[in-house]
Amino acid sequence: QVQLVESGGGSVQAGGSLRLSCAASTFTVRTYCMAWFRQAPGKEREGVAFIDSHSATSYTGSVKGRFTISQDNAKTNLYLQMNSLKFEDTGMYYCAVHYTSSGYCQGASPTQYPYWGQGTQVTVST
């Protein structure tokens, strides 16, 4: 079992930046995929950024070039640096983990991730 706790959300004007953090406790498995998802009111949860145990990253198209996912050296903290924020980036942001024998991310569907944090709210105003 892994526990995930997000922090760093807040309110910012369009064009601003925020850095989200996710602390992972009891995280001992070496092959995994960690991800940031977000959910806007009335919309489905969507995958935003992914990093696997080989440190390969991927992003959904709408955030490419603006968001950066990263981990600390101990790989127990996950980050999401969000720059040039837009109104449409508003939503609840969650970190999530799934274990994978290959060490590669298996997909972007929320149903593939059994472990979730409680979320942190990001609000971007125009």
pLDDT tens for 4-30 read 999 999 999 999 999 999 999 876 777
Of 117 and 100, the structure prediction assigns the larger pLDDT to 117
What burial letters (b/e) apply to 91-120, b meaning 16+ CB within 10 Å? Answer: bbbbbbbbbbeebebeebebeebebbbebb
Q: What pLDDT, on the 0 to 100 scale, is given for residue 75?
A: 80
Of 1 and 91, the structure prediction assigns the larger pLDDT to 91
Please state, in angstroms and rounded to a whole number, the distance separating the CA atoms of residues 111 and 48. Answer: 15
- Edge-to-edge strand ranges of the sheet holding 3-7: 3-7, 18-25, 77-82, 67-71
